[in-house]
Amino acid sequence: MLVAVLTYVGYGVLTLFGYLRDFLRQWKIEKCQNATEREEQKDFVPLYQDFENFYTRNLYMRIRDSWNRPICSVPGAKVDMMERVSHDYNWTFMYTGRVIKDIINMGSYNYLGFAQNTGACQEAAAKVLSQYGAGVCSTRQEMGNLDKHEELEKLIARFLGVESAMAYGMGFATNSMNIPALVGKGCLILSDELNHASLVLGARLSGATIRIFKHNNMQSLEKLLKDAIVHGQPRTRRPWKKILILVEGIYSMEGSIVRLPEVIALKKKYKSYLYLDEAHSIGALGPSGRGVVEYFGLNPEDVDVMMGTFTKSFGAAGGYIGGKKELIDYLRTYSHSAVYAASLSPPVVEQIITSMKCIMGEDGSTFGKECVQQLAENTRYFRRRLKEMGFIIYGNEDSPVVPLMLYMPAKIGAFGREMLKRNIGVVVVGFPATPIIESRARFCLSAAHTKEILDTALKEISEVGDLLQLKYSRHRLVPLLDRPFDETTYEETED
């Protein structure tokens, strides 16, 4: 309760100061630091409304140094960062030229540790790069379909346990270009509250009606499904053509895992289709890294459209969609990406092929399996220790995405800076990616983190937590039981 009040007070003070500074800037008492419109275009309609940028100018600018930190090494467990200073309170940055070395990287999505610049993956990618070059210069349907792409797609289908798969050049674009190909006007999309921007954009571009159900709440979803089928389209009462449910495997800001068995049961009962976005969960969940479907022990054929990205666990770039052969054939013909967008770059394809084979164990070693196990161990250990220390952690016990609640706006900046002083790089998130009073720090665990690295990080986090009074939790848990099915919302509540 106290925390909530203080958070609001914090935002109130910042807003007041914001208005004051805007006032001073308008009356030219204070110098205006941001770029301005051209003289010749001063009488054009202004490009930005003043109030749209209020948040940016007054709140974001103060703590801007926590984001867009430039690095200059491979984004593995430890990373080198370019030092930058600001002499005018974050309006401009200057690089001192020095490099801060060996910062523990708790921010990159490197779940299985494949972000490496040495090793089998890198060598294979180098070979393909010298043979094929870096670009493709054409679309899939024209001259951009290389034999490498065909090889990759067969491999993905085998990895996921589906009939067929198709790969695309960008994870974000996979969603925003394929959802419109699958559904259109007269269809219904039921989307989770906290879905990623790419899913929301894809749903909007499709022209279908969108209804939102509460995060991971099966009663809300069932009610929407019932209402949709019984009442039909809003005014004409015609039955819906199709119903598509959009969920994610692991939600990146909450760390929660979708309740997949229940969603599939509902989907079957109400004859709708399921689109599962496994951007964060592929490679990170499941005893052999096959994602959230394997984690729950379900049949991949129950999920109609399995989508995922290669950026996180495979250390490459791009996205894929897997499913039945008819689905993939349809997407090959009608997906926006196949017709108008460039295909994947060959060395990136090779990296995916090598890393996927490694995870599957087909390259002859157990390296992949070990990584998956190491990640699971790291996750459990890290979460347990943080809870013991008394922080408020959101998300499921097994998800490698660990959000730690900060709540107050001033602590966002302070946490980021203090951790950097101690050589740990963390990601802090505030509005608008999260609700305004629930800002958090988010740790992404990796199989590349050894126990020593985690212990160092935990020690520093505890120190900073004491310094900034972040240990909000009223209960000190001693977690012993594995609870894979419950606990998809936050573990502790404050009051």
56 binds other proteins (CB under 8 A): yes
CB-side neighbour CA atoms (13 Å) of 420: 20
Nearer Cβ to other proteins, position 1 or 134? 134
Query: Which one of 164, 198, 256, 473 is in contact with other proteins (CB under 8 A)?
Result: 198
Residues 6+ apart with CB under 8 A from 140: 149, 332, 337, 338, 339, 343
At 192, phi and psi to the nearest 5?
-65, 150
Q: Is 115 in the site for other proteins (CB under 8 A)?
A: yes
Q: How far is the CB of 416 from other proteins (least distance, A)?
A: 11
Selected range binding other proteins among 201-209, 287-295, 463-471, 473-481, rule: CB under 8 A? 201-209
Piece of the chain touching other proteins by CB under 8 A; list 10-18, 24-32, 223-231, 391-399: 223-231
Q: Considering the complex, state which of residue 135 and residue 297 has its C-beta at the smaller distance from other proteins.
A: 135
Interaction between residue 334 and other proteins (CB under 8 A): yes
Which string of b and e fits 248-280 if b means at least 16 CB within 10 Å?
Answer: bbbbbbbbbbbbbeebbebbeebebbbbbbbbb
Taking each helix axis from N to C end, the angle separating 171-182 and 197-206, rounded to the nearest 10 degrees, works out to 30
Distances from the Cα of 414 to the Cαs of 37, 163, 408, 442, in angstroms? Answer: 33, 50, 10, 14
**Which of 195, 209, 272, 378 touches other proteins (CB under 8 A)?**
272
How buried is residue 202: exposed, middle or buried, by Cβ count under 10 Å (0-12/13-18/19+)? Answer: buried
The nearer residue to other proteins, 337 or 473, going by C-beta atoms, is 337
Nearer to other proteins, 121 or 190 (CB): 121
In this structure, the strands spanning 273-277 and 401-405 are unpaired
The residue among 269 and 475 lying less far from other proteins, judged by its C-beta, is: 269
Take residue 241 and report the two structure tokens written for it: 């053509």
Q: According to CB under 8 A, which one of 3, 120, 205, 389 is a site residue for other proteins? A: 205
- Computed on alpha carbons and rounded to an integer, the radius of gyration of the chain in Å comes to 24
**CB within 8 A of 177, min separation 6: which ones?**
168, 202, 335, 336, 337, 341
CB-nearer residue toward other proteins: 216 or 345: 345
Extract the tokens encoding 427: 């990601």
Residues 374-403 that bind other proteins (CB under 8 A): none
Stretch that binds other proteins, among 19-27, 46-54, 253-261, 405-413 (CB under 8 A): 46-54
Kindly state whether residue 36 participates in binding other proteins, applying the rule CB under 8 A. yes
Nearest-angstrom CA–CA distance, 323 and 161: 9
Minimum distance of other proteins from residue 100's CB (angstroms): 13
Return the residue of 5, 29, 45, 481 that touches other proteins, per CB under 8 A: 45
How far is residue 92 CA from its own chain's centroid?
28
Q: Which of 11, 251, 296, 314 binds other proteins (CB under 8 A)?
A: 314
Shortest reach from residue 385's CB to other proteins, in Å? 23
Q: Select from 2-10, 34-42, 213-221, 486-494 the region that touches other proteins (CB under 8 A).
A: 34-42
Interaction mask 347-376, other proteins, x per CB under 8 A: xx--x-------------------------
| CA angle at 105 for the pair 458 and 92, rounded to the nearest 5° | 115
Residues of this chain, 127-146, that bind other proteins according to CB under 8 A: 129-146
Pairing of strands 427-429, 209-213: unpaired
Q: Which of residues 424-463 bind other proteins (CB under 8 A)?
A: 425, 427
Mapped onto helix, strand or coil, the DSSP state of residue 168 is strand
CB 379, min distance to other proteins, A: 17
The only residue of 16, 94, 239, 474 in contact with other proteins, by rule CB under 8 A: 239
Which of 430, 489, 428 is closest to 107 using CA atoms?
428
- The residue within the footprint of other proteins, chosen from 2, 29, 40, 236 (CB under 8 A), is 40
Distance CA 31, CA 417 (A): 26
Q: Which is nearer to other proteins, 75 or 413 (CB)?
A: 75
Nearer to other proteins, 34 or 493 (CB): 34
Q: Which residues, numbered 160-189, are part of the site for other proteins (CB under 8 A)?
A: 169-173, 176-177, 180, 182
Our CB check for other proteins shows the closer of 138 and 493 to be 138
Residue 417 binding other proteins, by CB under 8 A = no
Least distance between other proteins and beta carbon 173 (Å): 5
Closest CA to 229 of 211, 215, 214, 247: 211
CA distances from 332 to 106, 130, 133, 261, 325 (A): 37, 28, 24, 29, 10
Nearest residue (CB) to other proteins, 116 versus 220: 116
Of the candidate residues 26, 33, 86, 117, the single one contacting other proteins (CB under 8 A): 117
Going by their DSSP bridges, the two strands 209-213 and 188-192 should be labelled as: parallel
